Structure formats: C-alpha cells, structure tokens
Amino acid sequence: MKKVILASTSTLHNQDYLEYILPELPNLYKGCKEIVFIPYARPGGISHEEYTDRVKKAFETIEISVKGIHEFLNPIEAIKKAEGIFTGGGNTFLLVSELYRNSIISILKEKVENGTPYLGTSAGTNIAGLTMGTTNDMPIVYPKSFQTLGLVPFNINPHYLDPDLNSTHKGETRETRINEFHHFNSQPVVGLREGSWLALEGDDVFLRGELSARIFKTGQTPIEVTSGTNLKDLN
C-alpha cells in the first residue's frame, strides 16, 4: 500500500523549509527512525552535504534522523534498506540523470509501490508522474530517459502558476506550455499550486491543501478540482 506525499514546493513565502508540510510527516513516516534523503536535484547548485544538512535540521523538529544517499557506499542498498525516503526539489533533469546513473530508479519505484513512505517536493514530486516532461526546469544535463516513477497515472506540474492579467510579460504561460506538451503526449497533467500536495493512500490519490488544482487533458478545456478530490481515475 503506497504511502506518499507529493508536494508542489518545499517552502512557502515567509516560512521556514518544509514548515507548511511538517505536520503531515509524523503520520507519513510513522515508525521510521531514519529516512534516506536524495539530494541529487541540488537547487541552486548547492552540495549534497549542504542540502542534506538543511533537511536534517527540519526533520529534527519531528524527531526523525536523516542520512543522505551520498553518504552510503552503495546507493542501491541504501534504497533497498530505507525505512522512508525523501527526494528534494531542484533541477529535475539533474535529478533524473543521477537516478539513472546510479541505477536506482527502478528499485526506488518498487520500494515506494511496496509501501515504503515517500515524500517528494518540487522535482521530487515531478518524478512521481509518468514522465518528467512537464518540469519547469532548464535542461542542464541530458538524462538517459524522461520516463520516471509512474506512481500516479498522469504527469505533474509543480509550482503551477495562473496567468497574471496585470503583468507586462507577454511570454508563454504555464498553461501554454502544457498545451504544447499535449501536442505530443496524451497523459493528463495536474497543475499543482504552491501549498498543495497529493496524498497517495494505497490506490487513492487525494488533492490536499487549501487550493484547487488545474487539470489538463488533451483536446479538452482545463478544469479545476477542489481539495479532497480523488484523482486515482484521472487518465
């Protein structure tokens, strides 16, 4: 039975790292004394060590210890033996590239599908979809494949932004980019706004948080779904 939280972001405006989602984590990681953190996405290019230290400080407040996957001699064994897993945000191209390079993407999928608790934020949420094709990130490296974990039957667009009608910026909106994605890909896309998350409980996929999410399907007008909606049949 899957136990997963997929959050749009790690940090809300004027809050500390993970502050808004921390109340959900003791239940997610119930019974876990230590979790494995995957820092491969490296936001802003920070080191694995610096990123892991940031996570350790946040998890100290809920009395769970954290060990970065880079601290293990064998990353495959680290995932196999993990009591719980957290994949942080940053650059999705880099994250996926490193997951394939270290040969852990398939074992990570297997572990989570078999019930190991998993938290993803931003890039760590993006990889829970069928592919990483709806990331917002620059392609700073070239991963072996765009195929990701497929924990949900759709793609996710974390940090989804609505068009700002008062903005002087005339470039592409997020909705435009997702429509471009649907010219070549058929799976639905969930636009996940800041402060929202998906909670996977077995086969169920509930939208949580205060905001609605925007659902995109090929050739259809986007719709809004409210918090509490079960998206398990979205395909």
Q: Is 137 a catalytic residue?
A: yes
Chain length of the chain: 235
The one catalytic residue in 48, 137, 212, 227 is: 137
**How is the beta sheet containing 213-216 ordered, strand by strand?**
155-158, 189-192, 213-216, 223-225
Start-to-end C-alpha separation, the chain: 20
Cβ burial, residue 168 (10 Å; 0-12/13-18/19+): exposed
Give the tokens for residue 37.
Answer: 């953190």
Q: Is 53 a catalytic residue?
A: no
C-beta pairs of 220-227 under 8 Å, 24+ apart in sequence:
222/175, 222/191, 227/196
212 φ/ψ angles, rounded to the nearest 5 degrees: -80, 170
The one catalytic residue in 8, 10, 97, 122 is: 122
Q: Which residue has the tokens 């989570």?
A: 112
The one catalytic residue in 159, 169, 183, 212 is: 159
Q: Is 186 a catalytic residue?
A: no
For every residue of 45-93, DSSP letters joined together read: G--HHHHHHHHHHHHHTTT-EEEEGGGSS-HHHHHHH-S-EEE--S-HH
Give the tokens for residue 138.
Answer: 């620059």
Active site residues: 122, 137, 159
